[in-house]
Chains A and B, each alone.
Chain A
């Protein structure tokens, strides 16, 4: 007679796991602002005796580093949650904003908006954000329509092939627009395409947060449905999941989240691919916990990468995408090899 040991996926385990991820995130958030090309004194920065206008340390801390770190956190969290959700919906280890062409779709939208000189706001979002979001949706719709069959199951190789194709397609469009642009636009495009968290302020941070929060909350609500879809979409249907609806809601929310951060930070690679895998290795594939944990870990991960990027050959700063790709590239190869070996 065996004794029962169901893994109690209850509130207690849920909150204790999340507590660890939160502690790690808060620690990164607290330490990162103190590291940088210029040494700053925290006591001096927080001192009330020095006038803020004259307090160089406070300027560096509050105006240069903190907004950048907050943007890194939001970007990391967004790309990671999007990756986790894309992987679940497409039932594919290698799905991520980059491999699915979603990031380049967003890039296309943003570059088009820059080159057309569009400047309008929709519901408080800048034209670039809005265009990036539309581009992300367009890309994911393309991939999804390429792989969708009447049987409902999506073969791994076809998903990736479709993603890579869409990626190249949008990359070509970006190059084309870039080629046609004049010098000023061209500079703005290049600057944007290199990605980066350096030119930012609190205003940007706040405007990005809103769509990210909306998208993430929606994804949390459908987390258990995503579990069932990630195990098998047809079985999910027979267990009460409205699969087409959940797929649509999930893909749109993940694209919203991706599009909004890509519009500001540029296409930062590999975070969305690597982070969900690391978190899944640590805590398992249950989306109810994977989604918040990936957000916290993704935020910490990008803060750390960005800290490395701005200090490793200080005072020169390298784009954060270089660091994430240098970590993510080898990881991606390792994952592919492991996948092929079964």
Chain B
């Protein structure tokens, strides 16, 4: 396990290094002067030489990278050009707002996708299996932005059951602290906590459901194929011959082994979720990282773009690491590979 752990950590560190090299190089890839881009100080300004000096813009590139890394690790990520806020605090607030959606969608996808995939596998090639798989195929192919607008039109506008956009009704006056609205409500000193929570959950329903559809269908198909595969394995047949009933065979042998192979794909599903969340957040005006990134791109807010790219990639890397470690811990055969 220690060998596996260290190899995974090593891969993570290498990936993190490459990632920071990339975000650092963004300084120079954005059109214009790097110092102006990152600080907003124009070249003809009196402050320009001072700022240049502080940022070490005239030193060599390795020095600049080390300087960048020091700032990065000490939480000094610069200030937004459009709002003047410190980027670091806002980055994690926006990230938590996004994670609220993403985690919700992932949980929903797992809760529905995995059991229906297993169920479809037991009905392999039967009418139910075919129906479920065609539905999954359709669900996977529907464009998210179109479906989102359709559902808003139906549930929010026509039926008026759910709010159209946003995280919460601003009248509740919940001050953003962690970024995640549910946590913010719990730690706030509002007099209407229960009502605010209710309202926040209402706001969550639509985006979470829409975001979860694609990964849900993907998980369903993966799980169905993997389980079906495992049900053909000799050890499953042997377990059947030993007198185990179909349910025991499924729970004890087919599903754990199918999970082992599906888990490999879960980080991919997570990055799919993150990229889809950019679209969903823009549609629902959710104050998440994706929405922020899109706005920053329109506003040429370079420090924010840099921070968003870094934090999105880092989240995916971390998630990957966690899944890998879990796989290695739960399924020792993985460590052999």
A and B pair up: no
